[in-house]
A and B are shown apart, each in its own frame.
Chain A
């Protein structure tokens, strides 16, 4: 007999049958009319009901507390995010204020004019000052219908692209609005390419300031340009370079905590 058949035929506990048969054979004087539920049965029913209610209460209580914890965490994340946003915008405004005060102070002093110019030039080079100028806009994207890492833009592809642009004479570069500085990284983290510790989403728009007429041609001549040509041909990545007469590249937030400028005396 199959297990399922056995289960369905023996669904009721056999003891009921057994006890009733035994009672019949013994001809016990108990009334045969109808089996009655006694106090013990009622007690068991009460136990059953209490069990069911307890289980239900417990489950609903657990789900409520889980939900509350989840909501609390979401609230904390939101709060932290708002805090970070606030701090960041405060940082930007303070930096702007510092620059304004610097300009104001140094403008009054004719001898300091040279210092100010040097400062501005250094800022441009270091990427802490926004820049404007002609250049090219490069749009790099995954192959159409990309489904694996093979035909997606990887961090190494972006690194090659940026290297090629520097080599071709770019003077300032940003990727999706993230200015590249000497502290910038382009790396894969958690499935997304991050630049300056910010996750980027495709398509990757790279703005490069430089000679807009020679940049594309010189880029194509570099080994990175060749590599990208191969990528386009072999796996179908998309790359589009277009000259732009005026590009704006934002400043990067660069904060140094350990690197101190050494004073001429050698004491820091």
Chain B
């Protein structure tokens, strides 16, 4: 319940404040979102498994976002930013898919 409240508060904050993303950070925003999505799905799966832990969630969320952004940043500096972000998206995408599959099994018992 408190998670959904947090979600709603975040949406409202994002919509009303519409924070201006600095131009230098703009390329890393989508990848950060994908990394955050992965962390959230992982947390949800852990929650359903009964092993959810606040501290782990915070750490995995922040480290996921930071590492994904850092990889892309490094790639940009090396001139392979597009390829590296593709790689990050592929890996995170696979993780999201398998996490969602596990969540599905939990919810529908199938």
> In the complex, A99→B99 CA distance in Å?
84
The size bracket of the interface on A is: 35 or more
By the criterion CB–CB under 8 Å, are B50 and A41 in contact? no
Residues of A within 8 Å of B2, CB to CB, are 37-39, 41-42
Nearest chain A residue, comparing its CB with the CB of B59: A15
* A112: interface (CB < 8 Å): no
By the criterion CB–CB under 8 Å, are B10 and A53 in contact? yes
* A260: interface (CB < 8 Å): no
Residues of B within 8 Å of A53, CB to CB, are 10-11, 13-15
Nearest chain B residue, comparing its CB with the CB of A16: B46
B10: which of A13, A40, A50 is its contact (CB, 8 Å)? A50
Nearest chain B residue, comparing its CB with the CB of A52: B33
By the criterion CB–CB under 8 Å, are A13 and B91 in contact? no
A17/B51 contact (C-beta < 8 A), A48-B40, A54-B14 known = yes
Residues of chain B at the chain A interface (Cβ within 8 Å): 2-11, 13-15, 18-19, 21, 26, 29-30, 32-33, 36-37, 39-40, 42-43, 45-47, 49-61, 65, 91, 94-96, 98-99, 102
> In the complex, A54→B16 CA distance in Å?
10
Residues of chain A at the chain B interface (Cβ within 8 Å): 4, 7-8, 11-13, 15-17, 19-20, 34-55, 57-59
B54: which of A4, A8, A37 is its contact (CB, 8 Å)? A37
Least Cβ–Cβ distance between B37 and chain A, in angstroms: 8
By the criterion CB–CB under 8 Å, are A41 and B58 in contact? yes
